[in-house]
Amino acid sequence: MLTILFDGVAYGMLLFVLAIGLSVTLGLMNFINLAHGAFAMAGGYVTVLLMRHYGVPFLLCVPIAFVVTAAMGAVLERILYRAMYDKPALDQVLFSIGLAFIAVTIVDYSIGSSEQIIQLPQWLRGRTELVFGDHVLAMGHYRLLIIAVCIALTFVLQYILTRTRFGSRLRAAVDDQRVADGLGINVNVIFLSTFAVGSGLAGVGGALGSEVLGLDPTFPFKFMIYFLIVVAIGGTSSLSGPLLASLILGIADVTGKYYMPKLGSFIVYAVMIVILLWRPEGLFVKRGAR
């Protein structure tokens, strides 16, 4: 039971890192980016390729994945996304779906459609067991790593948002873009860097997740629904919202599969619909937010 909880938390934290970029992008630019999963996939494939062909150690691959996908995000934001901000939601959705299609087929064409497998370093493959009376808590080292990295990232993000100039400018732009612009905040730069960081985080999530979630060209669409659920439930105006939403989702999914394997993903969708019906604006909405 405890182990399942642990696994659920790990899964949830992974979802958080994957989805937070999407949440911020949506909150900031009001842009529904369904291609977010493609950035995650890119991070995963960068890791696989580096490890397999250049023997780069796994731990190094993760920050490299961040940098590469952030760069990709920055470039795409500038040349493609920026023109789409004022377009209606339908156009944005279809545009991002189109991007995702392109990404998926490019990967399929160049690397192939089979699932990519990475070999973790030996020290990440073990597990530690703690016994509390009747209950055993078995913590896989890899999942411990995921939780550790994600917690660290959360603190970093929180710090940036609340303690830095950039963070306050970002929050200003999220609250009211026009006024922020009027105050002399360079909204374009904020958009660019936020998008880049969001994509970079997705890349990190993809790199970390390829071991646990499986990596193949269908990744963006397989997990898109999970990211969207996190954002829809957690809202787009805070960090804690998506964090809690991811944790709920991760734990629900893993526990559901343990106790009722036949129902599988059904539980996740049902939870989502129930929550959205109860609170259509998401669980954690600031007063007056969009």
Shortest distance, position 161 Cβ to other proteins, whole Å: 21
Cα dihedral 223→70→87→178 (10° resolution):
120
d(CA 209, CA 150): 12
Shortest distance, position 77 Cβ to other proteins, whole Å: 14
228 or 243: CB nearest other proteins? 228
Q: Is 48 helix (H, G, I), strand (E, B) or coil?
A: helix
165 or 287: CB nearest other proteins? 287
71 or 289: CB nearest other proteins? 289
Shortest distance, position 196 Cβ to other proteins, whole Å: 19
33 or 194: CB nearest other proteins? 33
Shortest distance, position 81 Cβ to other proteins, whole Å: 10
Shortest distance, position 25 Cβ to other proteins, whole Å: 12
Do 73 and 196 meet the contact criterion of CB atoms below 8 Å apart? Answer: yes
Quick one: tokens of 265?
Answer: 């993903």
* Count of other CB atoms within 10 angstroms of residue 143: 23
d(CA 277, CA 27): 21
Shortest distance, position 137 Cβ to other proteins, whole Å: 11
11 or 191: CB nearest other proteins? 11
Left if phi > 0, otherwise alpha if psi is -120 to 50, otherwise beta: which for 164? Answer: beta
Shortest distance, position 144 Cβ to other proteins, whole Å: 12
Shortest distance, position 217 Cβ to other proteins, whole Å: 9
d(CA 15, CA 248): 10
61 or 231: CB nearest other proteins? 231
64 or 97: CB nearest other proteins? 97
143 or 169: CB nearest other proteins? 143
d(CA 135, CA 220): 37
